[in-house]
Homo-oligomer: A and B are copies of this chain.
Amino acid sequence: MPSVITITTDFGNNDAYVSCVKGVILTINPEAKVVDICHSIESQNIYQAAFILNTAYPYFPKDTIHVVIVDPGFGSQRNVVVLRTPAAFFMAPDNGVLSYILDEVCPESVIAPDSSSQSLGQKQVQGNSRAIVLTNPDYWRHPVSATFHGRDIFAPVAAHLSLGVPLDKFGETVNYLSSFQISRPYHDSKDNLIGCVLHVDKFGNLITNIKNCDFSGESVKVRIGSHLIHGLSRFYAEREGLAAIMGSSGYLEVSLTNGNASILLDVKAGEEVKLVAD
């Protein structure tokens, strides 16, 4: 029976919102272990939330319930869903925040365009995974506020799920979930590999979308802005100055030993990173 519940939100740490979610969970399941993943997601930034979730969830116990409460459309008619994968449960608004998870568990499912959204498409849930949409108000906290579904829907459903209530009780199966196109590196006409910075971490490390399987060899040349980095380092302190490293989540990172690469290079998420062809 699952008992760990993680929470990822854009609530920040200056209000009581996160604690309300925890209080509702503990009221229903006093034995639940609630773990914060991150509450500093930029307001309504589903891309950042999706990335952060994806770097954290693999390290939690099997069947952990990962709750993501980041949504530009809260209170509107978009669904709240639970995606059940072989590894875990993911509860989130159906707004694309589970795109990386879907990409992993349903790699062959293509994203169909959705006429109602420019940035999101629909992806079929396949294989050993399934999804339900939360429609059964028996498991919600009442009265349900219009603006704080995290407290009134997500939290009580997560708590009941952690108590072993079967997934079917919470709503109906849904075959498609919203997904954005995950940014992947590509080769340009000169055979350079063109990627981008996905995330800048606290140390100023620039985490790119380039993975080990996207290139071969360690004699790469990495261009970012006007800088060219020769070869991969194995760890941050291996050399002075800028270094390119395969980071702990499997992505190529640009870092500055004992410094902040983001500040030095004046680079933010979205910046192009190029692996220069020989």
Interface residues, chain A, with chain B CB atoms under 8 Å away: 3-4, 6, 10-17, 19-20, 22-24, 26-27, 30, 33, 35-40, 43-44, 52-53, 55-57, 59-61, 64, 72-76, 145-148, 151-152, 201-203, 234-238, 245-248, 253, 258, 260
Contact = CB atoms under 8 A, between A and B. Distances in A.
A151 B64 CA distance: 18
Contact of A16 (B37, B43, B73): B37
Given A6-B19, A22-B35, A55-B20, A146 B234 contact: yes
A148 B35 CA distance: 20
Given A26-B33, A147-B245, A75 B38 contact: no
A127 to B, nearest CB: 24
Q: Assembly of this chain: how many copies? A: 3
A26 B53 CA distance: 17
A146 B23 contact: no
A38 B13 contact: yes
Interface hub of A12, A16, A247 (most chain B Cβ within 10 A)? A16
Contacts of A152: 248
A156 B197 CA distance: 30
Per CB-CB distance, the 10 closest pairs between chain A and chain B, nearest first, are: A75-B235, A148-B248, A12-B202, A16-B56, A23-B59, A23-B60, A145-B248, A146-B235, A14-B40, A19-B37
Contacts of A72: 237, 258
